[in-house]
């Protein structure tokens, strides 16, 4: 009983760590209207960077973060990650200007990348083999639920009236979690796994350059030097990263893995689903506050209908997949996500919230169908000894999709805005942004289903 209680407490603690770092991805979207009206006077493009700096650093470093845990100790790296997360959140809360706010967001992202993979590694070291599948399933569910908790918790904190409290509130939570980890988490063995900081920097640099090209387009012009340089730099850096990893004896993320058709399409599918979800989170924050007049807490709660299908239907997806097949399940998933986003794009200030919530449920059905199905393909495409790589790939594709969703929808909304200020721009461009996001989900979803269909035939 003592062992059962101890592992149960450790599972709860590790899930809390996951909820913190994933919840921050979603929570900051609620602060966008406050940031827009703040004394920092950010442009529309800068607002996207405030959201995305954390996400893109998180996405690109999560696999190196797992490798660092293997080499230096999972518990130690998890503690360091929580410390960096707290330090970055404190810097963000106190930032007197945009530059330091972005620096704080980046530092928080580094911490999150150390926390996510090592929270799972610590858990798997502590539980007996027969409990590992259930433990992984519970931990993985928090990567989805964390986004909703971030919306609700962020709404509660931001009800104080200042965006700074969102970051300040994360500091004691991270430090409390670190104290509990130091007290309860077991120490695991270390492995002599070589780290490659240059490969990690190349991947971060390539991703940031890509976002520069996307985000700065409306503001600087699509043919401007900064945009052209961003896209060209992304191509060069992604190529350099690929060549470096191909030559490495033990690459952190072997590009050759993407030759596996099922893995390749499932990773694209996971990226696409989170692209749509976080594009929606970004729009929801401003739409409900400014178009519908919701308070910030109401806005955080307003996204909850999205989770109803996830909570009620998640356990039934496997049975449905066995009955109608993988291709049909994934096709339905993308049809619901894309169709839900297109339906949400028809909402305006006069639309009853019940109708808006109905389209959120439609989108949530698609997410419910997609996540366990695609996760199963990613996990099943790799041998058991590469389970850590599969977990890292899932985290990377989720966060990278989230960053792209925010960047693309923020860019579309800025480019199509008809107002002279940031708030007007967000409201006026919301419908176009959601239509573009829905269209992208449907097109990429068709590619995923098409490749799977050709492979099975």
What are 33-63's pLDDT values in tens digits? Answer: 899 889 999 988 899 899 999 999 998 888 8
The DSSP result for 274-305, as a single string, is HHHHHHHHHHHHHIIIIIS---HHHHHHHTGG
Question: What's the chain's Rg over C-alpha atoms?
Answer: 21
| pLDDT band (50, 70, 90) for residue 68 | confident
Nearest to 25 by CA among 183, 156, 160, 153: 153
Give CA–CA dist 214/255, Å, rounded: 24
Q: Residue 220: which pLDDT band, with cuts at 50, 70 and 90? A: confident
User: What is the C-alpha to C-alpha distance for residues 152 and 299, in angstroms, rounded to an integer?
Assistant: 8
Which has the minimum average pLDDT: 112-126, 219-233, 381-395? 381-395
Q: Which residue do the tokens 């996204």 mark?
A: 303
Specify the pLDDT at position 393.
85
Which is higher by pLDDT, 234 or 127?
Answer: 234
Cα(38)–Cα(163) distance, rounded to whole angstroms? 9
Using a 10 angstrom Cβ sphere, with 0-12 exposed, 13-18 middle and 19 or more buried, the burial of residue 3 is exposed
- Contact between 42 and 35 (Cβ < 8 Å): yes
Contact 169, 27 (CB under 8 A): no
| Dist CA 210 CA 230 (whole Å) | 6
Angle at 102 between CA 288 and CA 47, to 5 degrees: 30
* Phi, psi for residue 34 in degrees, rounded to 5: -65, -45
In terms of Cβ atoms closer than 10 Å to its own Cβ (0-12, 13-18, 19+), residue 161 is exposed
Backbone angles phi, psi at 324, to 5 degrees: -105, -10
Give the domain 260-457 fold.
Growth Hormone; Chain: A; (1.20.1250)
User: What average pLDDT does range 112-131 have in this prediction?
Assistant: 86
pLDDT at residue 423, rounded to an integer: 54
Q: What are phi and psi of 248, to 5 degrees?
A: -70, 140
Identify which has the larger pLDDT, 453 or 364.
Answer: 364
Name the percent of the chain in helix, strand, coil, to the closest 5.
Answer: 85, 0, 15
Mean pLDDT: which of 147-151, 213-217, 363-367, 380-384 is highest? Answer: 363-367
Question: By percentage, how much of the chain surpasses pLDDT 90?
Answer: 49
The structure tokens listed for 272 are 């696409």
Q: Where are the domains of the chain?
A: 1-192, 196-251, 260-457
Give the whole-angstrom CA distance, residue 178 versus residue 65.
17
d(CA 346, CA 437) in angstroms, rounded, equals 13
Q: Give the per-residue pLDDT at 1.
A: 41
Q: What is the pLDDT of residue 377?
A: 86
Looking at CATH, the fold of the domain delimited by 1-192 is given as: Growth Hormone; Chain: A; (1.20.1250)
> Identical fold at 1-192 and 260-457?
yes
Res 298 pLDDT > 60: yes
CB distance 79 to 178 below 8 Å: yes
What tokens does 259 get?
Answer: 């030759």
Give the chain's end-to-end CA distance (angstroms, integer). 51
| pLDDT one-digit tens code per residue, 129-168 | 877 777 777 787 777 778 888 989 999 999 988 999 999 9
Six-digit token string for 376: 């199963």
pLDDT higher than 80, residue 231 = yes
- Give the percent of the chain with pLDDT over 70: 94
pLDDT above 70 (res 2): no
Is residue 424 pLDDT above 80, yes or no? Answer: no
DSSP class per residue in 121-152 = HHHHHHS-GGGHHHHHHHHHHHHHHHHHHHHH
What rounded mean pLDDT belongs to the chain?
88
Count of CB atoms within 10 A of residue 247's CB? 8
Mean pLDDT of 189-213: 85
């Amino acid at each position: 009983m003592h062992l059962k209680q101890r592992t149960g407490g450790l599972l709860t603690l590790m899930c809390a760590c996951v909820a913190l770092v994933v919840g921050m991805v979603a929570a900051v979207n609620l602060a966008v209207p406050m940031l827009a009206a703040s004394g920092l006077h950010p442009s529309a493009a800068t607002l996207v960077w405030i959201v995305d700096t954390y996400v893109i650093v998180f996405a690109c470093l999560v696999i190196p973060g797992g490798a660092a845990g293997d080499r230096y100790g999972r518990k130690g790296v998890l503690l360091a990650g929580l410390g960096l997360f707290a330090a970055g959140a404190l810097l963000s809360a106190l930032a007197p200007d945009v530059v330091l706010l972005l620096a704080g967001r980046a530092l928080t992202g580094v911490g999150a990348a150390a926390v996510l993979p090592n929270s799972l590694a610590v858990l798997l070291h502590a539980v007996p083999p027969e409990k590992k599948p259930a433990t992984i399933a519970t931990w993985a569910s928090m990567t989805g639920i964390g986004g909703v908790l971030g919306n609700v918790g962020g709404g509660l904190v931001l009800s104080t009236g200042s965006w700074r409290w969102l970051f300040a509130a994360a500091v004691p939570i991270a430090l409390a979690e670190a104290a509990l980890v130091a007290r309860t988490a077991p120490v695991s063995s270390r492995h002599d796994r070589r780290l490659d900081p240059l490969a990690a920097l190349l991947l971060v640099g390539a991703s940031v350059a890509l976002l520069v090209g996307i985000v700065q387009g409306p503001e600087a012009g699509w043919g401007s030097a900064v945009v052209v340089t961003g896209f060209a730099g992304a191509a060069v850096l992604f190529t350099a990263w690929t060549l470096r990893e191909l030559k490495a004896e033990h690459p952190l993320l072997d590009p050759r893995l993407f030759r596996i058709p099922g893995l390749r399409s499932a990773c694209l599918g996971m990226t696409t689903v989170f692209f749509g979800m976080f594009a929606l989170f970004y729009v929801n924050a401003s739409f409900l506050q400014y178009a519908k007049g919701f308070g910030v807490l109401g806005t955080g709660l307003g996204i909850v209908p999205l989770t109803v299908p996830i909570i009620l239907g998640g356990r039934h997806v496997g049975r449905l997949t066995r009955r109608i097949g993988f291709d049909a399940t994934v096709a339905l998933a993308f049809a619901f996500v894309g169709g839900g986003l297109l339906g949400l794009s028809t909402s305006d200030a006069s639309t009853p919230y019940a109708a808006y919530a109905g389209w959120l449920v439609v989108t949530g059905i698609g997410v419910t169908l997609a996540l366990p199905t695609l996760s199963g393909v990613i996990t099943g495409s790799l041998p058991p000894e590469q389970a850590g790589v599969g977990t890292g790939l899932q985290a990377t594709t989720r966060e990278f999709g989230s960053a792209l969703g925010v960047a693309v929808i923020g860019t579309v909304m800025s480019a199509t805005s008809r107002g002279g200020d940031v708030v007007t721009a967000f409201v006026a461009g919301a419908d176009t942004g959601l239509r573009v996001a829905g269209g992208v989900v449907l097109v990429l979803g068709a590619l995923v289903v098409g490749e799977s269909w050709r492979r099975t035939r």
